[in-house]
Structure 1
Amino acid sequence: MRYCCTLLSVSDIHKARSFYEDIFGLEVNQDYGRNILFSCGLALQQDFDWLVGMSKDRIHKKPNNVELAFEEHDFDGFLQKLNDNPTIELLSGVVEHDWGQWVIRFYDLDGHLIEVGEEMKMVIERFISDGMTLEEVSQRMDVSVDDLLKLLN
């Protein structure tokens, strides 16, 4: 058995494709018209009701129980990109998780919840530049020093 992809139901395949290409820089690997697979493994499907054999009214928007998670090296630059796009609906502003990672959550054009956080390597480097030892970072993030070193390489 092999994991293939996560497939999102979208209302307009062209707008959704542009959203994921423009906001995240994703590249299309396969394009079947109303189904697109990006090279990262994310797939978009227009007419999801037809695909799964359900009526349109049984396809729900904004379930808020699943999110797509991305990490971004240039988190500040990404925040600027979001601010420059007034059509994006934010769930909240930037939040710092207990382990120190800054994230922002928002919805795509079809109401799918997305989280973008700074790369974990950046979190570790920020803590170290603030004067924390690897052991202190390990305790703050609740991971082993060995795991920290793997993330730094």
Structure 2
Amino acid sequence: MKFKNSLLVVTDMDKSVQFYKKVLGLHVIMDFGANKTLTGGLSLQTAETWKDFTGRSDISFGTNNAEVYFEEDNFDTFAEKLEKLDVEYVHSVKEHSWGQRVVRIYDPDRHIIEVGENIKVVCKRFSDSGMTPEQVAERMDVPVKFVNACLR
């Protein structure tokens, strides 16, 4: 068994493709009309065809029970970009207890999209502030071996 990708059901394919392109910089790499695969492996499927495939008409949007997660090397630049866009926030930028900064937004169908600071960048940020690898490991609650691997 091999995991291939995630699929989100969308009500307006064009609007969703534009959102993922404008906000996250993703592009369509496979276009099957009612199904499109974006860079990174995220697939979008029209609600109409999803209902046909599954035989179900009870599709729920905006249930806040799952998210699609991305990491960004240039988190500050991304956060500034978001402020200029018309996006609905689940929450603005916050820092988790392990030091990673994240923001969560809704896509046009109210799927939660999380964008987090690349975890290697978090390690480097702490190291650059003068922390030893042991201090970084303690701060992030990860093994020193992980920190050292991130700092290579």
With structure 2 as the length reference, what TM-score do the two structures score? 0.93
Instruction: Kindly provide the amino acid, as one letter, of the partner of residue 148 in structure 1.
Output: V
In structure 2, the residue matched to 1:130 is 129
Following TM superposition, by how much is the alpha carbon of 1:152 offset from its aligned partner in structure 2, in angstroms? Answer: 2.7
- Distance in structure 2 (CA, Å) of the matches to 1:3 and 1:128: 34
In structure 1, the residue matched to 2:21 is 21
1:1-153 matches, within 5 Å, as: 1-46=1-46, 47=48, 48-55=50-57, 58-86=58-86, 88-153=87-152
SS of 2:40's equivalent? coil
SS of 1:93's equivalent? strand
Following TM superposition, by how much is the alpha carbon of 1:140 offset from its aligned partner in structure 2, in angstroms? Answer: 1.2
- Distance in structure 1 (CA, Å) of the matches to 2:77 and 2:53: 37
- Distance in structure 1 (CA, Å) of the matches to 2:102 and 2:80: 14
- Distance in structure 2 (CA, Å) of the matches to 1:94 and 1:110: 21
Give the gaps of 5 or more residues in structure 1. Answer: none
RMSD over aligned Cα atoms: 1.2
- Deviation string 1:40-61 (CA, Å, 9 cap, x unpaired) is 1110001222232111xx1111
SS of 2:20's equivalent? helix
Instruction: Kindly provide the amino acid, as one letter, of the partner of residue 12 in structure 2.
Output: D
Work out whether residues 72 and 116 of structure 2, in 8 Å CA contact, stay in contact via their aligned partners in 1: yes
- Distance in structure 1 (CA, Å) of the matches to 2:145 and 2:15: 43
Following TM superposition, by how much is the alpha carbon of 1:65 offset from its aligned partner in structure 2, in angstroms? Answer: 1.1
Instruction: Kindly provide the amino acid, as one letter, of the partner of residue 81 in structure 1.
Output: K
Work out whether residues 124 and 150 of structure 2, in 8 Å CA contact, stay in contact via their aligned partners in 1: no
Instruction: Kindly provide the amino acid, as one letter, of the partner of residue 120 in structure 2.
Output: K
**What is the total number of aligned residue pairs between the two structures?**
150
